[in-house]
């Protein structure tokens, strides 16, 4: 935990341009596939985030050499080690993404179990089951997962996920890319970050079809060719700044964004009376005086993203009337509620639903960021609140928002 905190003087409309960075949830699996290449691989539009740097450290520990400069990562070499260091895995759940590529290239992997996290238990049983379907053997002992690939290569098979999982779908794609024969994934996740991973692998010579649908078919290939690939824009960062425009009654242009990846989110935002104009890769978001209360429920893509639930709730705190926010992906994703309540928000939790009674104005308070997206919801709430707020423990925010202080400062936020 860091003692970093942000002091925000709220109640000021924010105006200006925000250039959206590369997507955190894309770059993490894309860094993992550097383990699959024989020689080199280059990524562009890489956001400089705490999680990006952790993932780079992890693949460095596995033997890949990297150079990270100006939003570019050059990768060289093949994995030399099979053991993921515990001190890195314990800091980032997404570390589990190295498992499939490591098995594919080295036929062996030793990974400490990532365990639970702030927003719920988050098991990895679907990852393990998918790898077993493709020929891996796994053993759990003393908090470590040991996995082997006795046949030396994954073998194509059918995988049916009981529930949509982004990470497990990525795991299956990464394993099947270099497998012998054909793999068919049913109930696959359709998130844009899955499509990004598949597009990058296809550019390098993989044969993956059905990306963005619930059935993905992969014909294994023997190796990947060196490529340079650019990461898609971060839709969650774009959505977060759209909320900031609405909640502060300002006007923000989201540059370099991918609005088609946020269709349902923008539809809901428009219903709240926030003005949203979409022009190719730019979205103009303008807060208009009265905010309407709108119900949402989170769902896998293309539904409303769970990663924007907390930020949307902040907007509902100042809406006209009552809204119901239902979290259907994670079992414990209302950690921001007690913090928003410190700012005088009126929210009642009933199971996986939060019932928000909108008030005219929130009041500045000292609050604690508990997880990545909750941090942004508290910053959005503080920017709109009356008086001064202190958002403590910014380490979470730094995991997923590139240059957030500079971006907020550039649109006129009064922050220290
Ligand atoms: C990814 C995103 C995260 C986002 C989430 C849902 C990354 C790095 N993170 O997380 O920001 O909030 O998708 O959109 O891309 N589950 C199991 N067993 C498993 C795997 C998942 O039960 O083996 C459950 C989870 O507990 C959860 C649900 O499936 O309830 C969906 O989780 P999943 O889509 O896997 O989330 P992540 O990939 O971890």
Residue nearest to atom 25 of ligand 1 (CA): 122
Distance of alpha carbon 252 from the chain centroid = 22
Average pLDDT score over residue span 13-33: 98
E strand intervals along 189-279? 207-209, 215-219, 228-230, 251-255, 275-279
d(CA 28, CA 17): 26
Q: Is the pLDDT of residue 119 over 80?
A: no
- Ramachandran area for residue 326 (φ above 0: left; ψ -120 to 50: alpha; else beta): beta
Q: Is the pLDDT of residue 180 over 90?
A: yes
Using a 10 angstrom Cβ sphere, with 0-12 exposed, 13-18 middle and 19 or more buried, the burial of residue 360 is: exposed
Distance of alpha carbon 373 from the chain centroid = 9
With the most atoms of ligand 1 within 8 angstroms of its CB, the residue from 116, 140, 165, 400 to mutate is: 165
d(CA 1, CA 244): 26
Average pLDDT score over residue span 22-32: 98
Band of residue 113 on the pLDDT scale cut at 50, 70, 90: confident
Average pLDDT score over residue span 41-46: 98
351 alpha carbon – ligand 1 mean position (Å) = 20
**Cβ-based neighbours of 87, under 8 Å, separated by 6 or more:** none
Q: Is the pLDDT of residue 2 over 90?
A: no
Cβ-contact 314, 381 below 8 angstroms: yes
d(CA 231, CA 211): 16
Band of residue 122 on the pLDDT scale cut at 50, 70, 90: low
The number of beta carbons lying within 10 Å of the beta carbon of residue 206 is 25
**56-96 tens-digit pLDDT:** 999 999 999 999 999 999 999 999 999 999 999 988 889 99
d(CA 52, CA 71): 11
Atom of ligand 1 nearest to the CA of 307: 12
Residues marked active site are found at: 117
355 phi/psi in degrees, rounded to 5: -105, 115
Average pLDDT score over residue span 379-383: 98
409 alpha carbon – ligand 1 mean position (Å) = 32
Atom of ligand 1 nearest to the CA of 25: 15
Atom of ligand 1 nearest to the CA of 300: 14
Band of residue 163 on the pLDDT scale cut at 50, 70, 90: very high
d(CA 267, CA 305): 13
Name the residue among 306, 305, 377, 308 with its Cα closest to residue 336: 377
Average pLDDT score over residue span 234-256: 98
d(CA 151, CA 178): 13
pTM score of the predicted model: 0.97
Cβ-contact 84, 112 below 8 angstroms: yes
Q: Is the pLDDT of residue 389 over 60?
A: yes
330 alpha carbon – ligand 1 mean position (Å) = 8
Cβ-contact 255, 234 below 8 angstroms: no
The pLDDT, as a whole number, for residue 116 is 46
DSSP label at residue 328: -
The pLDDT, as a whole number, for residue 412 is 97
Q: Are strands 182-186 and 158-160 parallel, antiparallel or unpaired?
A: parallel
The pLDDT, as a whole number, for residue 376 is 96
d(CA 200, CA 43): 10
Q: Is the pLDDT of residue 1 over 50?
A: no
The pLDDT, as a whole number, for residue 332 is 82
Residue carrying structure tokens 């062996």: 108
d(CA 312, CA 21): 20
């Amino acid at each position: 935990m860091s003692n970093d905190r942000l002091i925000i003087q709220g109640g000021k409309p924010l105006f200006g341009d925000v250039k959206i960075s590369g997507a955190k949830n894309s770059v993490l699996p894309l860094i993992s596939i550097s383990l699959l290449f024989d020689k080199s691989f280059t990524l562009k539009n890489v956001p400089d985030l705490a999680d990006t740097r952790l993932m780079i450290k992890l693949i460095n520990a596995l033997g890949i050499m990297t150079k990270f400069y100006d939003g570019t990562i050059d990768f060289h070499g093949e994995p030399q080690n099979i053991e993921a260091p515990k001190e890195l895995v314990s800091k980032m759940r997404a570390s589990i993404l190295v498992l499939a590529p490591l098995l594919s290239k080295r036929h062996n992997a030793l990974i400490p179990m990532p365990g639970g996290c702030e927003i719920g238990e988050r098991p990895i049983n679907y990852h393990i089951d998918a790898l077993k379907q493709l020929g891996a053997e796994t053993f759990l002992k003393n908090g470590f997962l040991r996995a082997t690939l006795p046949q030396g290569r994954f073998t194509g098979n059918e995988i049916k996920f009981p529930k949509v999982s982004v990470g497990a779908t990525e795991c299956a794609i990464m394993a099947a890319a270099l497998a012998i024969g054909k793999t068919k994934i049913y109930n696959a996740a359709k998130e844009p970050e899955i499509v990004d991973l598949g597009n990058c692998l296809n550019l390098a010579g993989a044969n993956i079809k059905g990306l963005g649908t619930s059935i993905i078919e992969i014909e294994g290939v023997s190796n990947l060719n060196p490529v340079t690939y650019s990461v898609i824009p971060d839709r969650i960062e774009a959505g977060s700044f759209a909320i900031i425009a609405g909640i502060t009654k300002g006007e923000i242009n989201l540059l370099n964004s991918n609005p088609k990846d946020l269709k349902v989110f923008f539809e809901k935002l428009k219903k709240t009376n926030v003005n949203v104009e979409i022009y190719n890769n730019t979205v103009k978001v303008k807060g208009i005086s009265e905010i309407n209360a709108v119900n949402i429920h989170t769902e896998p893509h293309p539904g409303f993203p769970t990663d924007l639930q907390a930020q949307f709730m902040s907007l509902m705190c100042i809406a006209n009337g009552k809204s119901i926010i239902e979290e259907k992906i994670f079992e414990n994703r209302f950690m921001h509620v007690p913090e928003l309540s410190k700012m005088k928000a009126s929210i009642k939790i009933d199971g996986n639903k939060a019932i928000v009674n909108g008030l005219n104005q929130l009041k500045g308070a000292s609050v604690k960021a508990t997880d990545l997206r909750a941090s942004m919801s508290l910053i959005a709430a503080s920017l709109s609140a009356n008086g001064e707020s202190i958002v403590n423990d910014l380490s979470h925010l730094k995991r997923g928002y590139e240059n957030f202080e500079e971006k907020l400062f550039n649109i006129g936020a009064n922050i220290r």
